[in-house]
Amino acid sequence: MFRKNKNSEKTGARARNTPIGTRREALTNEEHSRTRSVRIYVQTYQSWRKTVFDSTTQPNNPVMHDGFSVGKRIVRSRIGLAMGDVVALAAGFLMPFAFAPFGFYGLTIVVLALLFQVLLVASAGRGFWRGWIFGLAMFGTGVFWIHESFRFAAVSLPLALLLTGGLIGILAIYPALFGFFAALWSRRFAMPSGSGPTPASGRLLSISLGALLVFPAGWTLLEWMRGWFLTGFPWLQVGYAHGGSPLAGLAPLLGVYGVGWAVALSAGLLLVAFRLVMENRNLATKARIIGLSSLLALGGGIWGGSSWLDQGAWSTPTGAPIGVALIQGNIPQDEKWLPALRQPTLERYLSLTRREAGRDLVVWPETALPGSYHHFTDFIAILRREARFHHMNILFGVPTLEGKSQRHFNSIAAITDMGEVLFYHKKHLVPFGEYLPMAGILRGILDFLKIPMSDFSAGPAGQLPFSVAGQSIGASVCYEASFGENIIASLPRATLLVNVSNEAWFGDSRGPHQNLQMARMRALESERYLLRATNTGISAIIDPQGRIVGRAPQFQLSVLTGTVTGMRGATPYARHGNRIIVSGALLVLMIGIMIGAFAPLKSKR
């Protein structure tokens, strides 16, 4: 029916008389390329049009409207990308308000749900960018207080801001990596929109798979990595915000990362519920109700079960209650090491200790003695006499020097009621604060920048708890209480925990509040009383359920007193550490990836 001239040349006849579907065989390479480009453009335009324009809006003349439509598509696409970036930035800015001193812990769930949403629709590169700006906003708002410490290290303000900004940029890489892999998974493994019984159910299944399995597990694993890689930086891990929420019941079982996993899963539930209600309008009402009921049941099970676990079932009291006194000397950091103020500092601590002579245990803060231990021989002799005479035990922070090796330690000395002196040497040191990593490379740079640097050595592993006041005391210094692994190293032998710190470095910032919040999590994980003595605050007595039962006012000379009881037994977290939650998160992540990889293949068969 297509032939017009039987005598035409073979090539011309094929070019003129074959059907349109096969006519491209006779076209030149240039014409073929142009035809293919037009076809791809039309298909792309039609596919996009179905999702962007209302189905009732049909142009009378597609040719006349194509230019306008494509322009509108480009504008909408750019606006969508910008809005996703803005949401990621705003979410990161909001996250620190979930932590102390604000305590709006529910924000962690909303913020993660927003982050998950903008990553679901992003390319891998855009996901990395959104994760990074989220991290910049979160750490830039939440841990900017670190720059305060440089003020006491003779570092100029511009250099302090530069160093703090560099740290924030590095920390932001962690959520950036999460964003990259989350977006990559969404593009590579998520079910296509047309798979499943209906396009709506297929999209919902894809979102649910990511939001409930892959994203919470991935977020938990990256937070865990941030907690140990390059000595670790665990501040603003979402589990810490929930030390006072029902999810805190998971802490003795799975630690702070288990609580964080429950937070991320709750965020996934919120996201799926929102998408189910607001976007899947083609989904049947019955299916919608069933879906929402299932999400509500799962969320209620997580929160209700966690609340039920928060009963202190893993430990029991041991020994007689003991009276304690935490002395908050309130020595300003810029005066602490002045030679002229050394004697007044000693007299302050000694006089406050004598007032608490009836207490079983008196605790001073980190580096309470303004110099090395061997410089205070006469003063130590006085403390030993006081301890024997009043039958009390005194713990205080002091730098020590090991004679043979000439190594310096950041230590806690314990003077028992028998006059014996015991020591604990800090094991987990602050990089760039207490020691210089990669000293051979960085020493010259710091000398050039005129940045002073401490040179402490890490204490040996396997140090035993103090046996004082009828209890076995697991001691830690400052930074060590930010890491659960440091504290459980003394368990289950330790019946009571003591942490000494000098928060004067961070001034009137969020830092001391966040550090106290992290110490509460250590009490929860171990189900032990934790005594926290600081120089300028915030000194506190924390019970085994993570509740603050006594708290000293910040920036005031104060003595915080109370009665505590030793606890024996071991929580699952104390026995197994992070192995349970890390193994579980890895397993869930692999299951989610396998399901996501298999489902599209199955739908194509």
Active-site option among 148, 356, 366, 480: 366
* Amino acid residing at 488: I
Q: Decide if 366 is catalytic.
A: yes
Which has the closest alpha carbon to 466: 484, 501, 493? 493
Q: Mark whether 434 is an active-site residue.
A: no
Which residues does 524 contact at the CB level (< 8 Å), separation at least 6?
Answer: 243, 248, 251, 252, 544, 545, 546
Q: Quickly tell me which residue has 């005129």 as its tokens.
A: 450
Distance of CA 507 to the CA centre of its chain: 23
Give the strand pairing for 393-402 and 407-415. Answer: antiparallel
478 assigned to active site: yes
What are the strands, taking DSSP E only, across 329-469? 361-363, 393-402, 407-415, 421-425, 466-468
For residue 370, which of 347, 391, 389 has the smallest C-alpha distance? 347
Inter-CA distances, 260 with 112, 234, 523, 585, Å = 11, 12, 17, 11
Q: 81: helix, coil or strand?
A: helix
Q: Name, in order, each residue with C-beta under 8 angstroms of 486's C-beta and a sequence gap of 6 or more.
A: 427, 428, 476, 480
Q: Residues with Cβ < 8 Å from 505, sequence gap 6 or more?
A: 148, 149, 152, 333, 511
- CB-neighbour burial class of residue 197 (10 A; exposed 0-12, middle 13-18, buried 19+): exposed
Residue 402 CA to residue 407 CA, distance in Å, equals 5
C-alpha–C-alpha distance, residues 528 and 496, integer Å: 6
* Candidates 148, 426, 480, 525; catalytic one: 426
Taking a C-beta distance cutoff of 8 angstroms, is the pair 559, 537 a contact? no
Q: According to DSSP H, which parts of 279-341 are helical?
A: 285-309
CA distance 168 to 105: 22
Of 410, 430, 417, 420, the residue nearest 387 (C-alpha): 417
Output the six-digit token pair for 172: 């932001």
**Sole residue written with tokens 């969020």:** 510
Given a contact cutoff of 8 angstroms between Cβ atoms, the answer to whether 218 and 210 are in contact is no
Q: Per-residue DSSP letters for 411-443? A: EEEEE-TTS-EEEEE--SPPBTTTB-TTHHHHH
From the list 336, 434, 478, 503, the catalytic residue is 478
- Catalytic positions: 366, 426, 478
